[in-house]
Amino acid sequence: MSMPQTPPARGVTILGTGRAVPEGRLTNQDLEKIMDTSDEWIVQRTGIRERRKCDPSKGESAVSLCTDALTRAIEDSGIDRSEIDLLVIGTVTGEMTCPATACRVGKRVGLGNAGAFDLLAACSGFVYGLNIAHDMIRVGRCRTIAVVGCDVMTEVMDYSNRGVSILFGDAAGAVILQATEDQSQGILASALHANGERWADLYLPRRERDVPDQDDPNELQLGTLQMRGREVYKFAVGTFANLIGETLEKAGIEASDVAQYVCHQSNARMLESARERFGIEQDRMYVNIDRYGNCSAGSVPVCLDELRSVGKCQTGDLVMFVAFGGGLTWASSLWRL
């Protein structure tokens, strides 16, 4: 008779990180040439100056970005790729729904028969994946898991829709999580939330029947992201701050205890408002939206990798990951690294 397993006492560590962004740039000046907008409007409303854009003619895609980011994360972690038990990719812009992007990336990176799946939580996809992967390691189901967040948003933009297309860019970021004997390392508090009632505020219709009643399918381009920007903004600005508050409270710590807030880059004004509400100093809430725009699930892991490359987010630090996106979904993950 098999006995119920007692979870082994173990911590979880982020062993390595990597990122990949395409070389192609789409600046505000480029957008001025193809739509009625201005650099001044975009910078003032969003903080964005340029974003990166995949070039399919060079073979750039979600698969190539994830492959590059994951390869770099494996190198950074110093593990052998055969140690990876599972690959989780948060994306809403995989080339196909079958097979999962993760299966194709696993093949390219050489992960053998490691499990692989995609996770659909839009801009929250990476943080959702991070929480799930962490808990699978903590309870002893896996020892090493790779989590990637990636979106190729320029492929789902309608550049005649200026209220949406100025925001988004392409990027992937990856982390390698592994079990450690140091039980102080890992998640102290986390949250996964969704509100499906608000799905029509941010959606990607494939067919005419996907379009909600309040929108006219003849006035939009199928296969491109639709967003009620102002509604999403209002919802997100409160939710973002509440999520930080909820996570701090669950962990029983103060905002000032957290060394770094690694947040989804949705809008610089939104980050600023959360920062002010909690009195967080500027250098403890990273911003790179000026260079990349909103990269959906790619935003948070790219921020983490950039922070690590300048010596921040070190072992022992308290780091909070925060994201918000389509679904609507929102999620957080507070780590002792």
> In the range 146-165, which residues lie near ligand UT7 by CB under 6 A?
162-163
Strands 260-263 and 318-325: parallel
Choose one: 52-60, 127-135, 177-185, 225-233; the region binding ligand UT7 (CB under 6 A): 225-233
**What letter does residue 67 receive in the DSSP assignment?**
H
* Residue 262 to residue 307: CA distance in whole angstroms: 9
Which of 13, 266, 329, 333 forms a contact with ligand UT7 (CB under 6 A)? Answer: 266
Within the chain, strands assigned E span: 11-20, 25-27, 50-52, 86-90, 115-119, 144-152, 170-180, 186-194, 202-203, 226-227, 260-263, 318-325, 329-336
User: Which tokens go with 279?
Assistant: 């009195």
* Residue 301 to residue 150: CA distance in whole angstroms: 9
**134 in catalytic set:** no
Report the nearest approach of ligand UT7 to the CB of residue 283 (Å).
Answer: 23
Selected catalytic residue, list 131, 134, 294, 303: 294
Alpha helices in 27-178 (DSSP H): 28-34, 39-46, 62-77, 101-109, 125-138, 162-165
Sign of CA pseudo-dihedral 164, 49, 119, 140: negative
User: Which tokens go with 61?
Assistant: 């895609």
Q: Which positions from 41 to 70 touch ligand UT7 by CB under 6 A, shown as an x/- string?
A: x---xx------------------------
Choose one: 7-15, 204-212, 230-238, 280-288; the region binding ligand UT7 (CB under 6 A): 230-238
The nearer residue to ligand UT7, 12 or 232, going by C-beta atoms, is 232
The nearer residue to ligand UT7, 87 or 227, going by C-beta atoms, is 227
- Told to check if 91 binds ligand UT7 by CB under 6 A, we report no
**28 in catalytic set:** no
**264 in catalytic set:** yes
Which of 143, 233, 278, 318 forms a contact with ligand UT7 (CB under 6 A)? Answer: 233
The nearer residue to ligand UT7, 117 or 159, going by C-beta atoms, is 159
- What residues act catalytically? 123, 264, 294
